[in-house]
Structure 1
Amino acid sequence: MPNQWRSISSTLGRTATQCVERYQKLLDEASGVESSNDLGLSGLGSETLKAVGASSSETGDFNLNAEHKEAIPDAVDLDDDEKEMLSEARARLANTKGKKATRKARERMLEESKRIALLQKRRELKQAGITTKLKAPKKKFATQFDYNADIPFEHRPTGGFYDTVEETGSNDQALREFQRKVDKSGVKDDKAREKRPRNDKIQTTIEKEAKPQDEDSLFKKRKLELPEPEFKEDDLSKLSKLDDSELETALKERANAVGSNIDDRIKDAAQRIREEKRIQSALLITEEGEGEEDEASQTADSDEVHDQFAPTSGETDVKTSIRDRLAALPKPKNDFELIDEDEEDVEFGETEDVDGMSKTVVSTSIPEDEGEKERLRAVKAEEERKNALKRRSQAVQKGLLVPSVEPGTKLSVLNADDDVQKLVDKELVKLIRSDHSKLNHTTNIPIVADLDEASRKLVAAEIEQEINMDDLAAFKTAFTKIHETSYVLNVDPVVLVSELQSLVESSNKLEKALAKQINGYVKRNEALTEQSIKDLHELKDVDRVLAAMEMLRDGELGSANTRAETLREEVDVLVQAEQRAHETYLELKRSV
């Protein structure tokens, strides 16, 4: 059991028994009693030693082995409470044979030992300058993390659709019930399985093998494969209805058809076997002449190999077919040539024989990748589109809407007499109409050609020259002068602040006066709003009840009609039965 000596033995590098003996020796030296224990490691172990001191009756000691001490006679004159305690202790000590009493005593002993070990550990830590507490310290803030109590980086599963609180309670109840049964009767083992002999299986196997077996069970028969019937039920029924001459003619025709069918099937099977023997690799894709030569060589080689490695009766068809296919492979060709990477254009020409090696040189350049060609074409088309867009008007470049303008439209009213402005307006109308025609794909309007690069640069230079004229420079100078001038108010700041404060005070007074005047209206508005909301809720409830009652009324009306009809039918049945009974009664009365 764990105690204070076991808890400190690992720290001191000694056994628990040595720690107890050292502690007892120090206590004896402090009390002036000479220790008579010369042999330190003899006697009882650390589990049977006292937890605190060596003296027999020290206050606060907890003796783990009180039953090993000599009994002390009780005093004759005891108080009433001491006698009661003594009798209770005797009654308790008398019941030491039961399992529960033994378990309870063991639990109390273990708890007390743990408590004393914890106190001793805290005392030693406190002497070393480490203060510990039994309870966790109070958190300084809500999100403070206690690594001794909480689980860091815990990911709790999300809640499901259904509440599992009842399941948790039932699981706990089932666990407690199982624990109670185990404590009472223990875990039930399969004793019959333990008593079963180990060689049961071997004996069963021997008996099974010793039984006589039939030949049918020893050798598994293959499934009987029969050909399809030549005549089906429909054919037989038709033939049975024919005469002798017609039957003979029909049978001859069917025999001829079946014979030709069989011949066709035999031919197909032979052709398929021939094709299987001529199977080549999928890598051998050559021209017609090469194919014929390869086929001839393959046939010769396959015949030679087939004669050399003729399959015996023990080999399977799979090995034979694999060997034939491997033998049908063509001879390797040695007509390749190593080419340097630096050479861009490799020329291939006639075939030369060098040292018995055939070399072929081909005069073709390395083909360019089609994907790269497509990408380059797309890049080039995009550049051409951008350049063409730059040559068009600014409105088209910016994606603005182009209006539809009539040819005789005048855009300048102020300078109507200016010939230059008239030409500009005319050219502008042409440009707008041309852009509108290009965007809408119309053909009845003349198209203005786009500016080339030289014309565009010339226009840009002219615009720059017009911008840098004297009027623009004068405008810039005046604009800068106006905005650089600072306007300072000739007002005393103190006076301005006082005026602002007076405005604030007057505004506050007006606000208070206005609040006094409209405060009643505001409260009245709030009360009426609250009452309106309450009335609205009540109205909704009443409407809901009314709708439910109307639905109930409709249902009751329908069911009432149905019930009334049912009752009428029952009454009619009763009336008819009564009439029949009355008629029977009258007949019986007449007969009597």
Structure 2
Amino acid sequence: MSIYIKGGAWTNIEDEILKAAVSKYGLNQWDRVASLLTKKNAKQAKARWKEWLSPTVVRNLWTKEQDSQLLSLAKLFPNQWKSVASTLGRTATQCAERYEHLLAVAAGETGGDDDDDSQSLGVTGPGIETLPAKGGETNYEARPSLPDEEQMDDDEREMLSEARARLANTKGKKAKRKERERMLEESRRVALLQKRRELKAAGILMSLVSKNKRAKKEFDYVSDIPHEMVPVTGLYDVSEETRLNEQESRHFQTDVRRQGIDMNKPEEKKKRKQRQQQESEKIQADRKHKLSIEAAAQLVDEFSNHESKKRKIELSKPIQTYMTSEDDNAIKSIDSDILLKSKDLLDQKAQEVTPLLLRLTQDTVDGDKKEVSSTQKPTKIRLYVQKFLKDKLTKLPSPKKHARPIDNGFNFDNDVDAEEELDQLTRNTLDLLVKVDHELSKLRRSQAVQKGLPIPDPKLLKEIATLTLELDKLIAKEYCSLVKSDYTKYEDSSYGGTIIDELDEELFKITTQEIQKETNTKENTSTDTTEDTDASASETTISSNASASEAIELLNKIQDQNKQLSESIAVLSNNSTFESSKGQLLKDIHEAYVDLVQATTVHNGQLKISEDEQRAISNRSTYWNTLVALIAKDEQGIVTMYRDT
């Protein structure tokens, strides 16, 4: 069997693979680089890179200074071409070949091989006859690569594909190998479980652990350490404490499973505390609200009792009165009574010493937190009472707009029993009048509100400035004001439109009469116009006094007109003629469009060519002008030079 020895001439494919491998693995991992080359080893790959492929290799011509330096270094380091090459910045092969060339040139100039100097300067050591016979050149690493063959061998094709796969892998070979091993292990485990399931279904029990007693007694040198003695951790023996800790842990787990102990006690305690705080705040707020309601209710009760004890008013003829200073003082006294009563109620509640009442009845002043005397007004409670009374007063029904008799002759000294009650009939009459007034006010509303039509949004109305006629502007302005007023009254009270007051009954009647009169005049004019049109139309109608011959003649005339109209309609509605004319028109339009597109394309092309020519003309003229200027300048310089000479 023949033994294959790696080596030989380098091919272009091997050089490219070597450069790509060096760019990925660097200049130190030559074994990994050589693993991509099937016919070369690490030493040969390194030599090929150092001698030929490295970009640091100098390949320019030798100078005389380098030749003299080479000869001097060869005397200092005989046959140590790597040391000489490192000094000169060239390869060892280049230095050796250049040295041989210099010796050959020197021998040719001196004229013979018998010169002792030339022999002393020659290369020493074993010659080529001592090397093994390999059939040609031996220093393949310093020679150009062989060109690629048209048909590559299978070995070269496989080497190239593997190099492509490995060099294109940027994720790392080890990571992919680990992932592949993990997947194989998982598939092996799944296959074992499937096999065990199938055997169990067949009635054969199989364990994942070997049940061989002999195997159990033996050591598993892969996973265990035989006769291992684990040293004790620490200076003292704590095995008893460890045992107690494990026992307590087991008891705790048992209690948790049996009783369901919550593991989140601190969080639950915090949440419970927050919940209690929120409940206490809510109770305090409810107590505060209840206190304000009680104070306000008591004040309202006393005020109502005070009103019920008033004497009834003796009605007389209506006389317009105004509020006097006495009435104003009475109202102020009522307000002061309300405030005093609320203060007394707060003083009574303050006897119950609670944090809330202490907080409400005491204030802090400045930064020293000095307590204020108990005579200070409780501002917070007063605000609560005012807010409560304001809410209650806003819920009262709106006042009715009807006149009531007011008498100035109030006599509070009279007894209540001496006053007479109003007659029931009078009250019923007043109620009826109020209802009639209300219904009449409904009739005085706008027609859109009376008919229940939707009121438009004022934002959608047309601007008045766009109208031209002054009359239209006035009508539009009045219309907009009516719409805004009705929208504010019946749709959205927060809109803020100006509300128009309702008309009086007399003014409303006058307005309706004027509108009715205007509509009657328009109807008369419309009847006149209709009479004129009827007179013109009577020419084509038959009067009741016409004879039979006139009627027949008129019918024949109408028939002829009808026939002519039918013929014209038939001509116009002829489908074939219309379709043919339509198709011809479409064809003409298409041809005209095609011609237009072609003409536009040609025109655009000519414009582009014209622009390019203009640009080229300007460039060429600039270039020639520059050349002419240079020539003129040179001629001027020559003339000046000859003139000076």
Q: Which has the higher helix share?
A: 2
Q: Which structure: larger Rg?
A: 2
**TM-score range relative to shorter protein:** under 0.3
Task: Provide TM-score, normalisation by structure 1.
Answer: 0.20
- Report 1 or 2 for greater relative contact order, CA contacts < 8 Å, sequence distance ≥ 6: 2
Task: Provide TM-score, normalisation by structure 2.
Answer: 0.19
